[in-house]
């Protein structure tokens, strides 16, 4: 499943922000402004050039944003996810506008303030909102592999994904195979 270009990068960025903390190990990847900038350089895609510069207070701001984005992935249903997303959009001052750059007019959602944290809050919340509205809440998941709690977006055709990566999937498959071999 392909998401639109407008949605794809913000959704991938949301996943990377959520996974910037080791939910099982307790390791923090956003340790300072440089680490935040590195994450954005690697994950923001076409949005990178539009984002404001990172400031020291954005480190804590993005960590708080990470908690709120994780709540969307952990939401029990679409209603709970919508509540989290709406709260994010309000908290980060989202303002819709019709943009005419590019091939055709399209919607943008930008914060009224210029902080990096607000920009990230708005674009990631809108990306996740679009996924839920267009494809359903079941597209968002938390890895089911033992020792991993990373978030992911299921882009499979049949909603069959249970793991954040091929590494986790393979590790679980090998463990299951070994358990079966021991019981024979």
pTM of the shown model: 0.89
Return the pLDDT at 78. Answer: 97
DSSP class of residue 101 equals -
Tell me the pLDDT band of 51, cut-offs 50, 70 and 90: very high
Q: Does residue 168 contact residue 145 with C-beta atoms inside 8 Å? A: yes
pLDDT at 178 > cutoff 60: yes
For the chain, the straight-line distance linking the first and the last C-alpha, in angstroms and rounded, comes to 39
Tokens of 8: 């794809």
pLDDT at 168 > cutoff 70: yes
| Phi, psi angles (nearest 5°) of residue 146 | -60, 130
pLDDT digits (tens, 9 = 90+) for 123-150: 999 999 999 999 999 999 999 999 999 9
Q: Which domains does the chain have, with CATH numbers?
A: 5-182 (1.10.3300.10)
Return the pLDDT at 141. Answer: 96
Transcribe 125-182 into DSSP letters. HHHHHHHHHHH-GGGEEE--STT---EEE--STTS---SSSHHHHHHHHHHHHHHHHH
Return the pLDDT at 6. Answer: 58
Return the residue matching tokens 């919508």. Answer: 82
């Amino acid at each position: 499943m392909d998401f639109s270009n407008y949605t794809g990068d913000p959704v991938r960025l949301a996943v990377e922000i959520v996974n910037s903390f080791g939910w099982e190990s307790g390791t923090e990847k956003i340790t300072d402004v440089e680490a935040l900038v590195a994450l954005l350089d690697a994950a923001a895609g076409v949005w990178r050039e539009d984002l404001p510069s990172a400031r020291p207070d954005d480190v804590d701001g993005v960590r708080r944003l990470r908690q709120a984005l994780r709540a969307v992935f952990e939401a029990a249903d679409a209603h709970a996810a919508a509540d989290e997303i709406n709260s994010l959009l309000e908290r980060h001052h989202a303002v819709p506008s019709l943009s005419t750059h590019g091939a055709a007019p399209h919607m943008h959602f930008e914060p009224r303030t210029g902080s990096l944290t607000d920009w990230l809050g708005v674009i990631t919340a809108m990306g996740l909102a679009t996924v839920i509205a267009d494809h359903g809440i079941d597209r968002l998941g938390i890895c089911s592999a033992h020792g991993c709690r990373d978030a992911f977006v299921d882009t499979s055709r049949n909603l069959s994904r249970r793991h954040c990566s091929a590494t986790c999937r393979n590790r679980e498959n090998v463990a299951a195979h070994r358990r079966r071999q021991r019981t024979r």
